[in-house]
Amino acid sequence: MSPKQDRRLDRRFNRLEQALPDPVGTQLNRLRRPRAFWLRVPAGILLILGGFFAFLPVLGFWMLPLGLLLLAVDIPFLKGPMNRLMIWGERKWAVWRRRWRRDG
């Protein structure tokens, strides 16, 4: 994948880390480091598998996109789709927040 896709994904991760609570953002930052490959890939796979068990407490659909994001760091063909998914999610989140503030 192109360096442009890598930079876009890094910017999206940085925004996500800033939006998350500090302990969670710090752990996500650690998982993104190149030496964390052996932890990042199994964590991504486990999150994806956990996303399929959304009917159970604690586990949920939120795990699926997070697992795909972690895998996108190492799998080039996932970078483009995950960039688009994150942009779409950010837009939907902004619209939801505007509506909530307006109606709330």
What DSSP line would sit under the chain, residue for residue? --HHHHHHHHHHHHHHHHHS-HHHHHHHHHHHSGGGHHHHHHHHHHHHHHHTTTTSSS--TTHHHHHHHHHHTT-HHHHHHHHHHHHHHHHHHHHHHHHHHHH-
User: Is there a contact between 13 and 69 (Cβ–Cβ < 8 Å)?
Assistant: yes
pTM of the entire predicted model: 0.80
- Per-residue confidence (pLDDT) for residue 39, from 0 to 100: 93
- Per-residue confidence (pLDDT) for residue 72, from 0 to 100: 92
CA distance 52 to 64: 7
**Residue numbers in the chain where pLDDT is lower than 70:** 1, 104
- Per-residue confidence (pLDDT) for residue 4, from 0 to 100: 86
- Per-residue confidence (pLDDT) for residue 1, from 0 to 100: 56
- Per-residue confidence (pLDDT) for residue 96, from 0 to 100: 93
- Per-residue confidence (pLDDT) for residue 24, from 0 to 100: 87
